[in-house]
Every structure is written in C-alpha cells, then in structure tokens.
Amino acid sequence: MSSVLITGANRGIGLEFARQYAASGWTVHAACRQPHSAGELNALGGIRLHEIDVTDHNSIDALAAKIDEPIDVVIANAGVMGPRSDQQSFGSFDYEAWRAVMEVNLYGTVHTCEAFTPHLEKGDQKKLAVLSSKMGSIADTSGGLAHYRTSKTALNMAIMASAAGLAQKGIAAGIFHPGWVQTDMGGPSALITTEECVTGLRQQIAGLPVTAKPDFLTFDGEVLSW
Ligand SMILES: NC(=O)c1ccc[n+]([C@@H]2O[C@H](COP(=O)([O-])OP(=O)(O)OC[C@H]3O[C@@H](n4cnc5c(N)ncnc54)[C@H](OP(=O)(O)O)[C@@H]3O)[C@@H](O)[C@H]2O)c1
C-alpha cells in the first residue's frame, strides 16, 4: 500500500490531500498542530493523526522517529501568509512577524523535508513535494507582501540547493504553486477549489522526475519562471 505524510493536514489544501489520498486507499500520515480538535480530519476515518508544529524542530524530529516505516510521498504543505499587507510593505516592515513567517514557510518546511528524507529513501515512490507560491517568483512579481514572498523565494532556493543531493538518493523533489485556491489563506474569491488543486497536484507529484534541477510547477503542470 502507498503512503503519504502531509503537514498542515487539518484544513485547506492539506486537508484535501488527506481526503483524496485516503479515498485512493493510501496510508495517510496527517500531521497538524492540534490533531484532537481537527474535526474534519478526524471525520475522514482511517487516517493516522500526528501532532507537529513545524516551528518546533524537536516535534518534527520526534514524529520522524515515531514513524519507523517507509513513506512514499512527503508533502510539506504547512504555511502562513503573515501579517496584514500594510505591515509587509517597505517603510513599515514588521521584522518580528517576518521572522515568524520564515520559521514556518522556510525553516520549518525545509526541516520537515530533511527529517523525512530517510523515510523517502526506504519508500518505493520517493517523491518530496513542497508547497511554494507564485508569489515567490522574482521574475513575476507585482510587489507587496514581502514577508510571504521572500519566504517562498528562499524556500524555492533551499529546495533547488538540495535537489542534487536528493536526486543522488533517488528522491524526486517538486516545488509547486498550487494555484489561487479557495481556502482560509486564498479567500473565497480564489479561482479554484481545493479539489481541483489537489487533483492536479497529485498528478504532478506522481510524475515528478529525479533531477538536480526541478522545475517550478503549477498544479496543472505549467512551468513558472523563478
Ligand atoms: N490558498 C492559496 O491560494 C495558496 C496559493 C499559493 C500557495 N499556497 C500555499 O499552500 C499551502 C497551503 O495553503 P492553504 O491555502 O491550505 O492555507 P490555510 O488554509 O491557511 O492552511 C494552512 C495550514 O498550515 C498549517 N500551519 C500553519 N502554521 C503551522 C505550524 N507552525 N505548524 C504546523 N502547521 C502549520 C495550518 O494549521 P493551523 O490550523 O494549526 O493554523 C493549516 O493547516 C501553504 O504553504 C501556502 O503558502 C496557497
């Protein structure tokens, strides 16, 4: 049976990943900050629930030690947008809030990838997916939201800088823009549902090649500029 680990699995895109993989008969390791109050996740049934806060690297390491089995696909999905846009604008940057965004979107995400690499090496499929954002593209920016944008730009480079080493272990790394998605983060005006987003992302993840130079891909396979 195939298996997947998802961070931020209690709502939004992460919850939909859990729902779809579970419906396909996969073993789903669903990680979130408060598993006992994750109502929709608990309601899925058949899910293995785990507690992690990705800003607490000890909690990531403890979960990696607890799951003593191969994992086919790891999805580092947990992320935050940061404070109101006026606090992410030049002249009024909130540096404490900026560091907090980096803790989740960069360090927490990258440490999740590191901690579960041994599980991927033992798995059959060996796919590592990180949820980035088009807002991290330097070539395609409209400005604003500097905390969020820089966290995703840095995440993209951290994964690119690690991809060759991962490829040597047979692991395919994927850097994804999920689209503008109807979640708490994306808001109700977003263009696509979590179902459309995750249906596309699952296809992209399944087809990821092992390469030292991954592409920056949208949920439907478009290649974005860095
Ligand atoms: N929605 C979009 O349009 C869009 C566009 C581009 C990229 N993305 C990216 O896609 C990913 C998922 O986004 P989403 O729209 O599903 O966001 P969301 O609805 O706001 O959900 C974010 C998830 O991340 C979790 N999380 C936040 N901080 C965490 C921490 N310290 N430790 C563990 N989990 C934490 C949240 O858990 P809690 O419930 O505990 O807060 C929640 O499960 C993010 O990386 C986001 O940047 C989204």
Give percent of the chain above pLDDT 70: 100
Ligand 1 interacting residues, C-beta cut-off 6 A: 7-8, 10-14, 32-33, 53-55, 77-80, 104, 108, 131, 133, 177-178, 180-181, 183-186, 190
Q: Which two tokens stand for residue 116?
A: 């579960």
Q: Determine the 3-state secondary structure of 176 from DSSP.
A: strand
Is the pLDDT score of 171 beyond 90?
Answer: yes
In this prediction, residues 198-225 reach a mean pLDDT of 98
Phi, psi of 33 (to 5 degrees): -75, -35
Dihedral pair phi/psi, residue 170, rounded to 5° = 85, 10
Burial of 157 (0-12, 13-18, 19+ CB in 10 A): middle
The confidence score (pLDDT) of residue 28 equals 98
Q: Which residues contact 224 (CB under 8 A, 6 or more apart)?
A: 134, 137, 140, 177, 215, 216, 217, 218
Helix or strand (DSSP H, E) at 97: helix 95-102
Residue-level pLDDT at 106: 99
* Paired sense of beta strands 216-218 and 48-51, if any: unpaired
- Which pLDDT does position 141 carry in this prediction? 85
**Tokens found for residue 28:** 């789903």
**7, 78 contact by CB (below 8 A):** yes
Q: Please say whether the beta carbons of 144 and 85 come within 8 A.
A: yes
Confidence of residue 70 (pLDDT cuts 50, 70, 90): very high
Beta strands in 77-138 (DSSP E): 127-131
CA dist., res. 150 & res. 158, Å (int): 12
Report helix, strand or coil for 157: helix
pLDDT of residue 186: 97
pLDDT in tens, 193-202: 999 999 999 9
pLDDT, residue 36, reads: 94
User: Does residue 140 have a pLDDT over 90?
Assistant: no
pLDDT of residue 135: 97
The pLDDT tens digits for 110-136 are 999 999 999 999 999 999 999 999 999
Site to probe by mutation for ligand 1, drawn from 5, 47, 74, 80 as the one with most ligand atoms within 8 Å of Cβ, is 80
Distance CA 169, CA 216 (A): 21
Number of structural domains in the chain: 1
- Record the tokens describing residue 3, joined without a space: 């298996």
Domain that holds residue 210: 3-224
Probe target for ligand 1 pocket from 54, 60, 75, 77, with the most ligand atoms within 8 Å of CB: 77
Q: How far apart are CA 107 and CA 176, in angstroms?
A: 17
Q: What's CA 220's distance to the chain center, in Å? A: 16
CB 55 within 8 A of CB 48: no
Q: CA-to-CA distance for 31 and 8, rounded, in angstroms?
A: 6
Q: What is the CATH number for 115?
A: 3.40.50.720
pLDDT band for position 45 (cuts 50, 70, 90): confident
